[in-house]
Structure 1
Amino acid sequence: MTTKMLTIRGIDTHIAKFGEEQLPAIVLLHGFTGSTATWQQTIEELAVDYYVVAVDLIGHGKTEAPEKMNRYRMEEQIEDLNEVLQKLEITNPILLGYSMGGRVALGYTTTYPDKVKSLVLESSSPGLRTSEQQLARRTADAKLAERIEQQGMIEFVNFWQEIPLFHSQKKLSDSQQQAVRNERLNQRPIGLANSLRGIGTGSQPSYWQALEQLSLPVLLLTGSEDEKFEMIAQDMMKSLPNAQHETIKDAGHAIHVEKPQQFATMIKSYLKTV
Structure 2
Amino acid sequence: MKLIANGVRYHIEVVGDRAHPVLVLLHGFTGSTATWETAIENWRDYRIVAIDLIGHSQTESPADESRYTMERQLDDLDYIFKEMKLEKFTLLGYSMGGRTALAYTCEFPHRIDQLVLESASPGLKSEVVREERRERDAQLATNILNGGLEQFVEKWENIPLFDSQKSLPEHVRQQVKQERLAQTAQGLANSLKGMGTGSQRSYWTCLPELEMPVLLVTGELDPKFCAIAREMEELLPNAEHCIISAGHAIHVEKPAEFATMVMERLNGINKED
Alignment TM-score, normalising by the size of structure 1: 0.97
* Aligned equivalent of 2:249: 254
- Paired residue for 2:146? 150
1:208, 1:127 → 2: CA distance? Answer: 7
> 1:92-124 deviations in whole A, cap 9, x for unaligned?
110000000011110110001111101000000
Q: Distance in 2 between matches of 1:186 and 1:269?
A: 33
The alignment partner of 1:272 has SS state of helix
Aligned residue among 97, 105, 111 for 2:107:
111
Specify the alignment match of 2:26 in structure 1. 29
What's the counterpart of residue 137 of structure 1? 133
Give the SS at the match of 1:94: strand
> Paired residues, what number?
269
1:52 aligns with 2:52: no
Counterpart residue number, 1:14: 11
Aligned-partner Cα distance in 1 for 2:66–2:19? 36
Percent identity over paired residues? 51
Distance in 2 of aligned mates of 1:239 and 1:133: 21
Distance of 2:194 and 2:209 partners within structure 1: 26
Structure 2 segments unaligned to the other structure (5+ residues): none
CA distance in 1 between partners of 2:268 and 2:237 (Å): 16
1:71 counterpart = 2:67:
yes
Tell me, in whole angstroms, the C-alpha distance in 2 between the residues paired with 1:66 and 1:196.
13
Matched with 2:84 is 88
Match runs of 1:169-248 below 5 Å:
169-248=165-244
Structure 2 letter corresponding to 1:66: P
Q: Which amino acid aligns with 2:191?
A: S
Q: Over residues 113-158 of structure 1, what are the superposed CA-to-partner deviations in whole Å (9 max), with x where a residue is unaligned?
A: 1111010000000000000110110010000000000000110000
Give the residue type in structure 1 aligned to 2:7.
G
Following superposition, the deviation at residue 61 of structure 1 comes to 1.0
Partner of 2:156: 160
Match of residue 128 from structure 1:
124
Aligned to 1:40: 37
1:269 aligns with 2:264: yes
Mapped to 1, the partners of 2:248 and 2:159 lie a distance apart of 11
After superposition, what is the alpha-carbon deviation per residue over 1:178-221, rounded to whole angstroms, capped at 9, x for unaligned?
Answer: 11001001100000000000000000010001101101100000
- Structure 1 counterpart of 2:257, one-letter code: Q
2:10 pairs with 1:5 = no
Distance 1:209 1:103 in 2: 14
Give me the whole-angstrom Cα distance separating, in 1, the residues matched to 2:37 and 2:233.
Answer: 29
d(CA) in 2 for partners of 1:75 and 1:105? Answer: 12
Alignment TM-score, normalising by the size of structure 2: 0.98
Pairwise CA distance, 1:90: 1.2
Counterpart residue identity of residue 30, structure 2? T
Letter in 1 for 2:172: Q
User: Offset at 1:273?
Assistant: 2.4
Structure 1: segments with no counterpart, 5+ residues:
none
Structure 1 runs, 4 residues or longer, greater than 3 Å off = none
